[in-house]
């Protein structure tokens, strides 16, 4: 980055309160604005982490969109919406709000209808923009209004089935839709698949480059420019020689425009103006450089797609404190690689998340047994099901939140046929800086009801390896959920254990209260038990539940028969979760036990600075839970309270 001291003054970004201010700038001021935006992006993400690479790539594109269109009357729908930081800076969300990006009380890392009138459609999952924009354009047509709807999709959005479903419906739904294909050749990792290769070919093809020159020529030959454009487009369409009828998008009925240099303000303006005046759906193919302006981000696009805090000068990530235990995703990836080396039937599958899931270890170690299928979770699961029919042991590594997209495949294709597919669901629990689109708080509820499913969560990294090993021996589907981040630091056994399916582990005996905890909550449960025992002289036990399905009913009923209060703890919504499984089992056995359930409420939990802040905001801090359990105990045993006093 340039030294900010060398920038011409006055600073432009600070004066931008909304799109009107962007429009008011002279064309020659735009490079300075772009430079200031990049500096702001780097400064904020270096401190808070975030999607720096994608945003550095769309600076000129976003500025150009705001100069050519009139947001919020015209509507931009950003796919994933992780590249919406520049849009935020230009729509009144700069300053302190942006500087608290992804922190409590600051700007979200994605777009939300509730955050701004300039965000007509929220997102966080990929592939939704084209469908949503098509719905909005169709609504506009039905309403008889005239606004523009612009979908901004990355090249990897075209690896999503839903984008292709939308593409198939564009021309039958509307005559006016603008699709920006922001092509930087990268998903999080390098983009994959045939469409990606196709885009690469047309980006470099001379025929398509010529189309760009046609737009130039058009503007030169018609000084009145855009006013003439509708007529011109119509005439050229009739004479059938304006657009080469050969791009994939033209086969779907969209006019293809480009490729356009996504960092050239003038080229962007001309092509967007042109698209704006077309009376047919149009796709503008814009070529951008992910990470533009930050050398480290250009050199390492995958790392800087969504970076943790880093040194803005060197690009070095802030180092974890010495002695920090390994991340669960690495433990999983390394264990799977070990198992795969020993068993060629093991196949690891990711939907465009090799490093996030830890499958990059498998990709490097046993590449033949690794598949990145793109942002195609439905396909990933069906593909795994197909492999499983022929004796393979597929492992789908898909974040809890993204597996939601493949729910029908989980039920209809894997569970119904009882195929032995293992699902490793990272990011189960909170993804605090990302927020509600990324929290993995629903998987137990959506999996508990699926017949043939075995659902489990390890208390630590060693048990994660045991669960993977166990799941790879199951006759049907196994689901392992685990949170983002580091393990507990326990040593990992050389030889993994095969766990007894449906059996919980008693970690601490107790006679007053028994805490049944799931996964990472086991550590909290042990601390809570210790505190209740030392401070309140209560006898409190802890069970590591391990399996949510099948639940260890025998142990549960034996506890319910002689322990006055049961407590469940889970990092999941209460509705349909682990505690629900416990009370259902007790109810079915006609056992009137007292149960205090600790988990997330029936709300979408916002983003926040960290897990602790969000837990405190929802009454789930260790102190809150201690107070609640004690109050429940005292409520059940008022005499003991007075005796203690």
Ligand X SMILES: Cc1ncc(C[n+]2csc(CCOP(=O)(O)OP(=O)(O)O)c2C)c(N)n1
Query: Which residues are catalytically annotated?
Result: 290, 377, 405
**The pair of three-digit structure tokens given for residue 548, joined into one six-digit string:** 């949510």
Residues forming a β-bridge with 481: 425
Beta carbon of residue 455, minimum distance to ligand X (angstroms, whole number): 21
Between the CA atoms of 252, 255, 256 and 258, what dihedral angle is there, to the nearest 10 degrees?
-170
CA of 492: how far to CAs of 321, 460, 463, 466, 487, in Å? 20, 9, 8, 9, 11
DSSP assignment of 312-369, as one string? TTT-PBPPPPTTPPPBHHHHHHHHHHHHHHH-TTEEEEESS-HHHHTTHHHHHH-GGG
Beta carbon of residue 460, minimum distance to ligand X (angstroms, whole number): 27
Nearer to ligand X, 292 or 559 (CB): 292
Beta carbon of residue 60, minimum distance to ligand X (angstroms, whole number): 14
* 149-154 sheet: strands from edge to edge: 75-78, 149-154, 178-183, 282-287, 255-261
Beta carbon of residue 159, minimum distance to ligand X (angstroms, whole number): 8
Nearer to ligand X, 334 or 404 (CB): 404
The region that residue 29 occupies, defined by phi over 0 for left and psi between -120 and 50 for alpha, beta otherwise, is alpha
Beta carbon of residue 524, minimum distance to ligand X (angstroms, whole number): 29
Question: Contact at 8 Å (CB) between 160 and 376?
Answer: yes
d(CA 369, CA 383): 13
Residues forming a β-bridge with 50: 307
Beta carbon of residue 403, minimum distance to ligand X (angstroms, whole number): 9
Nearer to ligand X, 87 or 546 (CB): 87
d(CA 175, CA 164): 18
Nearer to ligand X, 354 or 394 (CB): 354
d(CA 523, CA 528): 9
Beta carbon of residue 413, minimum distance to ligand X (angstroms, whole number): 18
Nearer to ligand X, 82 or 285 (CB): 82
505-508 vs 540-544, strand pairing mode: antiparallel
Nearest residue to ligand X on Cβ basis:
154
**Which residues sit at the interface with ligand X, rule CB under 6 A?**
54, 79-80, 82-83, 125-126, 154-157, 182, 184, 186-188, 290, 305, 351-353, 375, 377, 402, 405
φ, ψ of residue 422 to 5 degrees: the values are -100, 135
d(CA 395, CA 201): 33
Query: In this structure, is the dihedral angle defined by the CA atoms of residues 75, 375, 333 and 552, taken in order, positive or negative?
Result: positive
Nearer to ligand X, 291 or 458 (CB): 291
d(CA 85, CA 95): 12
Nearer to ligand X, 76 or 578 (CB): 76
Helix axes 578-588, 553-562, angle to 10 degrees: 70
> Please, where are the H alpha helices in 12-114?
19-24, 30-48, 52-57, 59-68, 85-90, 95-99
Beta carbon of residue 115, minimum distance to ligand X (angstroms, whole number): 18
The region that residue 572 occupies, defined by phi over 0 for left and psi between -120 and 50 for alpha, beta otherwise, is beta
Nearer to ligand X, 34 or 521 (CB): 34
**The pair of three-digit structure tokens given for residue 484, joined into one six-digit string:** 């983002």
**Residue 510 buriedness (CB in 10 A; 0-12 / 13-18 / 19+):** buried
**The pair of three-digit structure tokens given for residue 599, joined into one six-digit string:** 């988990």
DSSP assignment of 524-537, as one string? HHHHHHHHHHHHH-
Nearer to ligand X, 247 or 437 (CB): 437
Task: Report helix, strand or coil for 277.
Answer: coil
User: For residue 521, how many other CB atoms are within 10 A of its CB?
Assistant: 28
Beta carbon of residue 318, minimum distance to ligand X (angstroms, whole number): 22
Nearer to ligand X, 160 or 566 (CB): 160
Nearer to ligand X, 82 or 546 (CB): 82
Beta carbon of residue 569, minimum distance to ligand X (angstroms, whole number): 29
d(CA 371, CA 395): 10
Beta carbon of residue 290, minimum distance to ligand X (angstroms, whole number): 6
């Amino acid at each position: 980055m340039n030294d900010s001291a060398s920038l011409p003054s006055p600073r432009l970004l600070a004066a931008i309160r909304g799109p009107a201010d962007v429009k008011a700038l002279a064309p020659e001021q735009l490079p300075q604005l772009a430079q200031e935006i990049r500096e702001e992006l780097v400064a904020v993400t270096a401190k808070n982490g975030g999607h720096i690479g994608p945003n550095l790539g769309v600076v000129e594109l976003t500025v150009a969109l705001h100069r050519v269109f009139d947001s919020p009357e015209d509507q931009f729908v950003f796919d994933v919406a992780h590249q919406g930081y520049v849009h935020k800076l230009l729509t009144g969300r700069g300053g302190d709000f942006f500087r608290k990006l992804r922190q409590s009380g600051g700007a979200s890392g994605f777009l939300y209808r509730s955050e701004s009138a300039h965000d007509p459609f929220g997102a966080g999952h990929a592939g939704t923009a084209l469908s949503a924009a098509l719905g909005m354009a169709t609504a506009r047509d039905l309403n008889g209004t005239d606004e523009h709807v612009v979908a901004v999709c990355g090249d990897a959005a075209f690896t999503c089935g839903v984008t292709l479903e939308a593409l198939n419906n564009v021309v039958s739904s509307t005559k006016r839709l603008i699709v920006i294909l922001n092509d930087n050749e990268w998903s999080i990792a390098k983009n994959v698949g045939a469409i990606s290769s196709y885009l690469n070919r047309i980006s470099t093809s001379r025929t398509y480059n010529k189309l760009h020159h046609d737009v130039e020529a058009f503007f030169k030959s018609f000084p009145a420019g855009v006013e003439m454009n509708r007529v011109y487009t119509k005439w050229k369409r009739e004479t059938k020689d304006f657009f080469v009828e050969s791009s994939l998008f033209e086969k779907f009925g969209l006019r293809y425009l480009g490729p356009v240099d996504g960092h050239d303000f003038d080229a962007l303006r001309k092509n967007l103006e042109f698209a704006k005046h077309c009376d047919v759906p149009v796709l503008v193919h814009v070529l951008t450089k992910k990470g533009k302006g930050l050398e480290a981000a250009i050199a390492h696009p995958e790392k800087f797609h969504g970076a943790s805090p880093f040194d803005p000068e060197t690009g070095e990530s802030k180092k974890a404190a010495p002695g920090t235990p390994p991340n669960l995703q690495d433990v999983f990836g390394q264990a799977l690689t070990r198992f795969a080396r020993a068993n060629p039937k093991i196949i690891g599958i990711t939907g465009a998340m090799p490093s996030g899931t830890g499958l990059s270890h498998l990709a490097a170690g046993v590449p033949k047994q690794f598949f990145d299928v793109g942002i195609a979770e439905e396909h990933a699961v069906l593909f795994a099901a197909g492999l499983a029919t022929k004796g393979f042991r597929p492992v789908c590594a898909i974040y809890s939140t993204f597996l939601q997209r493949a729910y029908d495949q989980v039920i209809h294709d894997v569970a119904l046929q009882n195929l032995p597919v293992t699902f490793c669901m990272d990011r189960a629990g909170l993804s605090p800086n990302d927020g509600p689109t990324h929290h993995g708080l629903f998987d137990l509820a959506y999996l508990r009801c699926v017949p043939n499913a075995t659902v489990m969560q390890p208390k630590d990294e060693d048990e994660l390896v045991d669960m993977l090993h166990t799941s790879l021996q199951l006759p049907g589907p196994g689901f392992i959920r685990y949170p983002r981040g580091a393990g507990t630091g326990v040593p990992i056994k050389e030889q993994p254990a095969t766990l007894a399916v449906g059996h919980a582990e008693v970690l601490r005996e107790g006679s007053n209260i028994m805490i049944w905890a799931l996964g990472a909550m086991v550590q909290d449960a042990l601390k809570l038990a210790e505190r209740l025992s030392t401070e309140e002289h209560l006898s409190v036990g802890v069970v590591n539940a391990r399996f949510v399905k099948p639940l260890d009913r025998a142990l549960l009923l034996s506890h319910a028969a002689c322990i006055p209060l049961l407590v469940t703890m889970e990092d999941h919504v209460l509705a349909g979760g682990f505690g629900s499984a416990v009370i259902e089992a007790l109810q079915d056995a006609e056992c009137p036990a007292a149960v205090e359930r600790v988990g997330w409420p029936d709300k979408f939990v916002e983003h926040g600075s960290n897990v602790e802040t969000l837990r405190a905001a929802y009454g789930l801090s260790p102190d809150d839970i201690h107070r609640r359990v004690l109050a429940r105990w005292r409520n059940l045993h008022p005499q003991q309270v007075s005796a203690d006093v």
